[in-house]
Structure 1
């Protein structure tokens, strides 16, 4: 099954400049499986998104079809075929 991943420019430096990727996952897919697939190809991206324990970093939000995964099942949130997954990194300023 194919899933579309959307990334902000801030994270695209870790994926060869790509802000949109189509990733093939074995069904049934989860957010964790999707991040594992991305990590295999882009290890620096993984270190920016997940901490040493494999959990999402505090400042990273992931949305599956517009729903934040922390409000669902976290990394165990299902990713259906054709889903759009957005990975966002918080930016602080002042």
Structure 2
């Protein structure tokens, strides 16, 4: 199981939980399982989110591996500028 910290306004879509557990080995599995477990978050996931895994930000790297002890943070999509 992976512990996922839910950042900011996204917590409203996970029943106000700021930390959830999900069984996932890749970024794609993580997002799919979050959507299954918390359907209210699916529209935001479809629009795009950023995921920090062990301090590195990922946006669309679907096959990025996630270790069970990785630090994972889900946040609104970060855009450069």
Unaligned runs of 5+ in 1: 52-56
Q: Which residue of 2 aligns with 1:89?
A: 76
2:20 aligned counterpart, secondary structure: strand
Q: What is the TM-score normalised by the length of structure 1? A: 0.72
Matches within 5 A, 1:48-59: 48-51=44-47, 57=48
Q: What is the TM-score normalised by the length of structure 2? A: 0.82
Unaligned runs of 5+ in 2: none
Instruction: Supply the RMSD in Å over aligned alpha carbons.
Output: 1.9
The structure number with the bigger radius of gyration is 1
Q: How many residues align?
A: 78
Determine the C-alpha separation between the residues in 2 that align with 1:24 and 1:77: 15
Detail structure 1 runs of 4+ shifted over 2 Å in the superposition: none
